[in-house]
Amino acid sequence: MKKSLLLLVLACLIVPLQATAGVTHTPHHSSQSQPDLLIKDVYKKAKLQGVMDYQVFKEGYTAYFNTKGRKKQLLTIIDYSKPSTQKRFYVIDLKRNKLVYYTYVTHGVNSGGKVATKFSNVVNSRQTSLGTFLTDNTYYGGNGYSLRLDGLTHGVNDNARRRYIVVHGAKYADESFIRRNGYLGRSWGCPALPTHLARQIIDTIKNGSVIYARA
């Protein structure tokens, strides 16, 4: 009798262990959905709906997340799929979940007219480069106060230093140029900004923030 009771007790202990062996407990959200949830949350809190397409923001945020060496919780996105007559330069503060700048930006003279259709990593091409950049320090050059960029996308923009691709201000990047000419002026490949915003934007994003340019 005692032996039968002992066997019964052991059976009761073993069955639950066997039932749980090899079972994977699925969390409420899968690991693959977590990044999407975070990105959608930032997109919503920064009030980007109607200002920037979600897929564009997702690309930019992914580039930011994957960039080693970033020092600031800032993400700049340049959406070259838009014509130059539309605002397509966005600076997003990811710490405060806030869009802090939204303005015009030029593309290269050999990239196209109102719309950029050709992109290059070649020295002297005078075309715009796409991909992920990391901002560096500032200097005064032929275009005034400028911001050096390091291209991080191999074969796509890693000649940025050799090409002197920098952020700077330009009169041909102002909205007044569009009103007079019907299009925004073009650079030699640099993302040039309106003169009245250039310095404050450069000082905000300099020294280790991410820029993601796409088309």
Helix extents (H) in the chain: 2-20, 33-45, 54-65, 175-181, 195-205
Query: Which pLDDT belongs to residue 28?
Result: 37
**Domains of the chain, residue spans:** 34-214
What is the residue-level pLDDT of the chain in tens, covering all 215 positions?
Answer: 444 443 433 344 333 333 333 333 333 334 446 789 999 999 999 999 999 999 999 999 999 999 999 999 999 999 999 999 999 999 999 999 999 999 999 999 999 999 999 999 999 999 999 999 999 999 999 999 999 999 999 999 999 999 999 999 999 999 999 999 999 999 999 999 999 999 999 999 999 999 999 99
What's the rounded Cα separation, in Å, for the pair 117 and 128? 9
CB 175 within 8 A of CB 111: no
CB 80 within 8 A of CB 191: no
Residue 96 has, within 13 A of its CA and on its CB side, a CA count of 7
Q: Is 116 helix (H, G, I), strand (E, B) or coil?
A: coil
Architecture of domain 34-214: Beta Barrel (2.40)
Widest CA span in the chain = 103
Query: Which pLDDT belongs to residue 34?
Result: 78
Give the tokens for residue 96. Answer: 């405060």
Q: Is 172 helix (H, G, I), strand (E, B) or coil?
A: helix
Q: Who contacts 193 (Cβ-Cβ below 8 Å, separation ≥6)? A: 89, 103, 104, 105, 167, 168, 169, 170, 173, 201, 202
Cβ atoms within 10 Å of 209's Cβ, excluding its own: 22
In terms of Cα–Cα distance, which of 87, 182, 50, 113 is closest to 77?
87
